[in-house]
Amino acid sequence: MTDQYAVIGNPIGHTKSPLIHGLFAEATQQAMSYVAMEGPLVPDDGFERMVRAFAAEGGKGINITAPFKLKAFALADERSERAALAGAANALKFENGRIIAENFDGIGLARDIEVNLGVPLAGKRVLMLGAGGAARGALLPFLAAGPAELVIANRDVAKGEALVAEVGSGGASVRARGYGDLPALGRFDLVVNATSASLTGDLPPVPPGVFSPTGTAYELVYGKRLTPFLRLARNAGVRGIADGVGMLVEQAAEAFAWWRGVRPETSAVIDRLTVPLD
């Protein structure tokens, strides 16, 4: 019998997850199906009913995308440390009547940067723009990689400070600052835009002086070509710029391995989905 998996979001028409997991299943010879399902925004319990119905019908796991990551986290009976820190889940697994929550966004991001882009985080100065769910999910994998310094820049500095207090240092220097503080902090080896600004064509108020010409600028949004953030970085002379397509595929590979017990190779799938930035 073919095992059933799905992704739930709203809207969901843009999702690449069925394609990605279909390619993974073919490459690893896994007997599984994977479909996209549009989750209900109302009533409030509609998402929970959909998840439980999918599990009751024999479903093995679900990926979760916006706007249901917080609801998926709240629904779970068991949560990983990564999911707990993020306060959100992007993957669920159903075992023995229990719902287990994970969040692979951060580990997918870290793997794309370190493995695919060849940019080690150890000993580097890292600037994270934003203190929302995307930033929260990235912190544990980033700190595990051993940067020398990690600065979280956010309009609401108190929110960033609360996140720093929650996560601890992991041996690195971790601090929260406002955007107005950034000019005094010098250049960073890696600048990650974890805000949602690029979704609407906006630019977070980051000064160009934070970029190192020999460093990397990473945009979590994917498929938008040269976003205002990446354009700012390029105009500042940054050699390495990247969007989030690699993160998308790597987090999917982590979920696939969690569900199926085998981690697929990702480079061919990343190449297939990559949109030129120019």
Would you say the CATH fold of 106-243 matches that of 3-103+246-273?
A: yes
Answer whether 30's CB lies under 8 Å from 24's CB: yes
Of the residues 60, 69, 124, 159, only one is catalytic, namely 69
Nearest CA to 90 among 250, 255, 267?
A: 255
Tens digit of each residue's pLDDT, the chain (278 residues)? 799 999 999 999 999 999 999 999 999 999 999 999 999 998 889 999 999 999 999 999 999 998 999 999 999 999 999 999 888 999 999 999 999 999 999 999 999 999 999 999 999 999 999 998 888 888 889 999 999 999 999 999 999 999 898 887 556 789 999 999 999 999 999 999 999 888 888 999 999 999 999 999 999 999 889 999 999 999 999 999 999 999 999 999 999 999 999 999 999 999 999 988 88
Answer whether 233's CB lies under 8 Å from 241's CB: yes
Every domain of the chain and the residues it spans: 3-103+246-273, 106-243
Binding-site residue positions for NADP(+)? 81, 130-134, 220, 244
- Report residue 93 CA to chain centroid gap: 18
Cα–Cα dist 27/96, whole Å:
28
Binding-site residue positions for shikimate? 15-17, 65, 90, 105, 222, 251
Residue 40 DSSP class: P
Answer whether 265's CB lies under 8 Å from 254's CB: no
- Report residue 182 CA to chain centroid gap: 24
Architecture of domain 3-103+246-273: 3-Layer(aba) Sandwich (3.40)
Token reading at 137: 């999910």
At the fourth CATH level, the homologous superfamily of domain 106-243 is NAD(P)-binding Rossmann-like Domain (3.40.50.720)
Supply the Cα-derived Rg of the chain in whole angstroms: 19
Q: Which residue has the tokens 């955007």?
A: 179
- Report residue 41 CA to chain centroid gap: 22
Q: At how many degrees (to 10) do helices 17-28 and 245-260 cross?
A: 50
pLDDT at 176: 96
Binding-site residue positions? 15-17, 65, 81, 90, 105, 130-134, 220, 222, 244, 251
Residue 224 appears among annotated catalytic residues = no
- Report residue 75 CA to chain centroid gap: 20
Nearest CA to 6 among 93, 71, 84, 117?
A: 93
pLDDT at 171: 63
b/e string for 91-116 if b means 16 or more Cβ within 10 A? bbbbeeeebbbbbbbbbbbbbbbbeb
- Our CA angle for 108, 65, 168, nearest 5°, is 50
- Our CA angle for 249, 252, 254, nearest 5°, is 115
